[in-house]
């Protein structure tokens, strides 16, 4: 009996995550797409699965995978090869052969020189760590930069950010539960669910997607939950969607200060899409928290919303400040790499197919509003006002650049 690999099973039995037909649809252009190995510390995700490669190949595109790029997400090279990818043994060759570079983390400094003139780079931007030098390098080489954080659908949702935030929110509670244990310098308490024992108190800053999924998971553990935000509409939505099993309050200095004194866990989830996270918790507030309590700053990749936070890594994830355990890993979903990779594949492959069907990136920016919203560098110009303000740089609106055919 023939043994089929996973992507063959998916195609034969209909277990596909994409709605694109498998057979070649006659894309207007054939693209060369590169999937380099992630070099950022502890980044284990990849942007495309072997099944996604099969869909791209079926539509006439060439896919280049740097050897070992999917191993941390438990996708070995042979699965990609069987799906039609070309395995490349050096990053230099991959970058030279690719028109589109698809990554999860933005290129680190060692990769800047590998970027080729006129390429397209699609990745997260990590606003908390973005540098002026990187942006200027993209502009100098006439590279089109498209950031996960900026890709916005016509309904004003951010599909890639939302998917990663769902994972981040759920995992932040699992992480907090772990670090509340005695052998992790925590208080030695459980979230709840034990008869006759009061539940742990969880304070969630922000009422967006991370907060929603953190609250859902914490409710499952049996915790008492406070959610704070300055947007009443978001608080109202969260209350209704969770059947009013949470306590909400405005994120004022008074309410936050009072809540942190009794908190066992604080989840930092306050952010505005496309901007750095606001700092809601001061060092003085952290000093009033209980010894052995846990802070998970889940928006540290956007700069963090807690003053005592600074980025950590999966291999060295915590530090203790004023007796409070701080977990501040920027890429939390990388620890669920296979789930996160599949989620990214489901969202990114359709965008790649749209670029090919449109006839290339320039044509796709005319027709695909999500890609247009996601573009932060185009035609040697910075195109995001928020980045321009932060780095004190000039910018030009992407709509104007496209309309003027510059």
DSSP E strands, 238-323: 247-250, 265-268, 294-297, 318-321
CB 293 within 8 A of CB 325: yes
Among residues 126, 165, 229, 264, which one is catalytic?
A: 126
Name the token pair of 133.
């030098």
Please report where in the chains the tokens 């490349």 appear, as a residue. 88
CB 341 within 8 A of CB 47: yes
DSSP-based three-state secondary structure for 351: helix
Classify burial at 210, counting beta carbons within 10 Å of its beta carbon; exposed 0-12, middle 13-18, buried 19 or more: buried
Query: Residue 116's Cα: distance from chain center in Å?
Result: 25
Classify burial at 90, counting beta carbons within 10 Å of its beta carbon; exposed 0-12, middle 13-18, buried 19 or more: exposed
Among residues 297, 301, 326, 357, which one is catalytic?
A: 301
How far is residue 63's CA from residue 97's CA, in Å, rounded to a whole number?
Answer: 10
Residue 222 backbone zone (phi > 0: left; psi -120 to 50: alpha; other: beta): left
How far is residue 54's CA from residue 290's CA, in Å, rounded to a whole number?
Answer: 52
Instruction: Answer yes or no: 126 catalytic.
Output: yes
Task: Determine which helix (DSSP H) or strand (DSSP E) holds 92, and give its type and residue range.
Answer: helix 91-97
How far is residue 94's CA from residue 86's CA, in Å, rounded to a whole number?
Answer: 10
CB 309 within 8 A of CB 297: yes
How far is residue 267's CA from residue 270's CA, in Å, rounded to a whole number?
Answer: 9
CB 382 within 8 A of CB 394: yes
CB 43 within 8 A of CB 106: no
Supply the residues annotated as catalytic.
Answer: 126, 301
């Amino acid at each position: 009996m023939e043994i089929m690999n996973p992507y063959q099973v998916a195609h034969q039995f209909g277990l596909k995550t994409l709605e694109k037909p498998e057979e070649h649809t006659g894309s207007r252009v054939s693209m060369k797409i590169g999937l380099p190995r992630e070099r950022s510390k502890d980044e284990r995700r990849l942007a495309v699965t072997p099944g996604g490669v099969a869909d791209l190949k079926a539509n006439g595109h060439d896919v280049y995978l740097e050897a070992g790029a999917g191993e941390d997400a438990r996708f070995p090279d042979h699965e990609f090869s069987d799906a039609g990818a070309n395995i490349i043994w050096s990053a230099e060759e991959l970058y030279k052969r690719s028109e589109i570079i698809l990554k999860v983390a933005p290129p680190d400094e060692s990769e800047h020189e590998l970027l080729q003139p006129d390429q397209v780079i699609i990745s997260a931007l990590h606003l908390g760590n973005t540098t002026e030098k990187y942006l200027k390098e993209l502009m100098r080489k006439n590279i089109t930069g498209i950031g996960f954080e900026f890709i916005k659908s016509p309904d004003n949702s951010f599909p890639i950010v939302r998917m990663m935030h769902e994972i981040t929110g759920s995992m932040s509670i699992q992480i907090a539960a772990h670090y509340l244990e005695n052998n992790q310098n925590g208080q030695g308490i459980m979230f709840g669910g034990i008869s006759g024992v009061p539940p742990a108190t969880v304070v969630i800053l922000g009422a967006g997607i991370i907060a929603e999924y953190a609250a859902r998971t914490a409710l499952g553990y049996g915790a008492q939950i406070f959610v704070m935000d300055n947007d009443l509409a978001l608080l109202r939505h969260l209350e209704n969607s969770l059947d009013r099993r949470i306590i909400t309050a405005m994120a004022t200095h008074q309410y936050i200060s009072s809540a942190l004194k009794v908190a066992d866990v604080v989840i930092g989830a306050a952010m505005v899409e496309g901007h750095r996270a606001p700092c809601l918790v001061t060092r003085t507030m952290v000093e009033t928290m209980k010894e052995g309590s846990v802070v998970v700053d889940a928006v540290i990749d956007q700069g963090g919303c807690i003053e005592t936070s600074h980025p950590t890594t999966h291999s060295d994830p915590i530090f203790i400040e004023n007796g409070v355990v701080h977990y501040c890993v920027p890429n939390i979903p990388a620890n669920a790499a296979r789930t996160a990779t599949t989620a990214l594949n489901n969202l990114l492959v359709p965008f790649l197919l749209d670029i090919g069907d449109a006839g290339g990136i320039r044509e796709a920016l005319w027709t695909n509003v999500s890609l247009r919203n996601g573009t932060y560098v185009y035609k040697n110009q910075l195109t995001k006002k928020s980045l321009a303000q932060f780095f004190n740089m000039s910018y030009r609106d992407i709509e104007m650049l496209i309309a003027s055919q510059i």
